[in-house]
Structure 1
């Protein structure tokens, strides 16, 4: 099974079939308090980046939904300064990349984007939302799986290696504050491209 097939399996239909609760964009607001704990208790600062990963579909309705999302985010940039860009990764998945030094604005913007896909009938195309944090030069992510309705930590260390001890620490601290995925096989590693981010180089 290749990387692309693994992603489809873990964040895709098999994950949805095995899910224990329904996913909701409202879950994203959990990061509004979790980031305070990341800073105050663990020393992780937000990098000012968040991202929404989704799989596209060749239809006029989906293209129109993407335009709606883009228009919403453009309006948001005027209001909050949150910058948004759309990219496609090497596996063919699409990303909305958000950048803002105000973490609350990132959460609000990514919620608006996700909620628009859901309202227009394309919630099943949503795969994951990522929030990036940094400590001592090391970036970790909280990943929200839309197919599982839960968060999990991801701490890449370079190459295709991950810091599982850091991930378990994050799980122990946030279990109760966030809905954390209990089944570790669904902690899918969204490997960065080179020394960049999972969605590509910044």
Structure 2
């Protein structure tokens, strides 16, 4: 199974079939308090970035929905200073990348974007929301899988290794504060293309 097929299996159709609870955009607001816990209790700095990953579809209605999301984010940029750009990765997935030094603004922007897709009838195209952190040992991410309706931790080290000890530590501290995925087989690694880069770059 190639990386593309693995993404489809874990964040796509298979994950949706196996889901134990429905995704709820309100889950994203749990990250507001998780940011505080990560920083105050665990010594992480937030990465000043978060991202929403979605799959494309050849549809005028979908294009209109994406345009509406961009308009919402542009308005947010004027109001809160939250920058954004759209990125297409080599696997054919699309990302709205948000940039802000205020984590509350990042959470709100990701929620608004996700909620717009759902209201437009394209919630099934949402794959993941990814929130970045960093400490002395390297980066760590909380990934919200829309197909599983749950978060999971991901701590990459380079482009093909992960720090599972850190991931289990994050799970033990944040489980309950976040709806954490209990099946570790769904903790899919979103590898960055190069060391020191984010999965959405």
Tell me if TM exceeds 0.5. Answer: yes
* TM-score tier after normalising by the smaller chain length: over 0.9
Structure 1: runs of 5 or more not aligned:
none
Structure 2: runs of 5 or more not aligned:
none
Taking the aligned partners of 1:175 and 1:95, their CA distance within structure 2 comes to 26
Aligned residue number for residue 83 of structure 1: 83
Taking the aligned partners of 1:143 and 1:100, their CA distance within structure 2 comes to 18
CA deviation vs aligned residue, 1:116-159 (integer Å, no higher than 9, x gap): 00000000000000000010161110000000000000000013
Runs of 4+ in structure 1 deviating by more than 3 angstroms, as ranges, are: none
Taking the aligned partners of 2:167 and 2:119, their CA distance within structure 1 comes to 33
Aligned residue number for residue 184 of structure 1: 184
Taking the aligned partners of 2:135 and 2:145, their CA distance within structure 1 comes to 24
Cα displacement (A) at 1:197? 1.1
Q: How many residues align?
A: 200
How does the TM-score come out when normalised to structure 2?
0.98
Aligned residue number for residue 149 of structure 2: 149
SS in 2 for 1:147: coil
How does the TM-score come out when normalised to structure 1?
0.98
1:170 aligned to 2:134? no
